[in-house]
Amino acid sequence: MADAIQTTKICTDFLSCSGPILQGLGTLAWPAAILSIFVLFRARLIELVAAFVAQIRSGASLKVGAFELKGISREAIEKDLAGSHLAHAEPASAKDVDDRQNEYVRLRGLMLVHRIRPVLDEPGHFDISVYLLPHKGGALNQVKKVEYYFGPHWGGSQNGSRFVVEDPRDGFAMKIQAYGPALCMADILFHDKEQVISRQFRYLDFEMADAFRSQDSRAVSPSRQGEP
In which domain, by residue range, is 9 found?
2-71
Examine the domain organization and report whether 125 and 203 are in the same domain: yes
Give domain status of residue 77, yes or no.
no
Give domain status of residue 86, yes or no.
no
Task: Kindly report the pTM of this predicted structure.
Answer: 0.58
Q: How many domains does the chain have?
A: 2
Give domain status of residue 83, yes or no.
no
Tens-digit pLDDT profile for residues 106-161: 999 999 999 988 888 877 788 999 999 999 888 999 999 999 999 998 888 899 99
Q: Which CATH number characterizes residue 161's domain?
A: 2.60.40.1970
Residues 6+ apart with CB under 8 A from 192: none
Tens-digit pLDDT profile for residues 199-222: 999 999 888 776 665 444 333 344
Q: Half-sphere exposure of residue 199, counting CA atoms within 13 Å on the CB side?
A: 3
Give domain status of residue 89, yes or no.
no
Examine the domain organization and report whether 122 and 208 are in the same domain: yes
By residue count, the chain amounts to: 228
Name the DSSP class of 132: E
